[in-house]
Amino acid sequence: GYPSRRFFTEFVNRFYMIDPNLLRQNIDDRAISQKLCAKAGLEGFQIGLTKVFLRAGQMALLDKQRLLVLQESAIVIAREWRRKKARDLYLRMREAVVTLQAGGRGMLGRMRARELRKLKAATKL
């Protein structure tokens, strides 16, 4: 028999991430459910009028694929978060370095101007 049964909407809401492009297409939940089962490589399934019927073990295969997609997504999110943190740190450090360099150049310019004033004052005598 078919021990696992899910309404189309429930099925799509749980497993859409196996192929998110299907949601962008203008098709009903029944067609999306059928395409999701085909994409997942399921053999023991039937599409009824209102539900998807799955043979024993097929739900576990779908859950495994769903979990893999969610894990990959979590990895991408973590990577992007670390990248953003590193970039923010780099930009703050670069701004600090530019501020220090500008302060150093200003100080050197003032010292040079002071030396030139002393030299000019010494040559006037």
Tell me the CATH number at 104.
3.30.70.1590
- Considering the entire predicted model, what is its pTM? 0.72
> Which of the 8 DSSP states describes residue 49?
S
- pLDDT-derived band at 125 (thresholds 50, 70, 90) equals low
Contact 2, 53 (CB under 8 A): yes
CA-based nearest residue to 33, from 48, 24, 1: 48
Distance CA(18)–CA(93), nearest Å, equals 41
Mean pLDDT computed over every residue of the chain? 95
- Please tell me the total count of domains within the chain: 1
Whether the pLDDT of residue 25 is over 80: the answer is yes
Count the neighbouring beta carbons within 10 Å of the beta carbon of residue 60: 11
Note down the domain range covering 92: 4-124
What angle do helix axes 29-39 and 8-15 make, rounded to 10 degrees?
50
Contact 8, 33 (CB under 8 A): yes
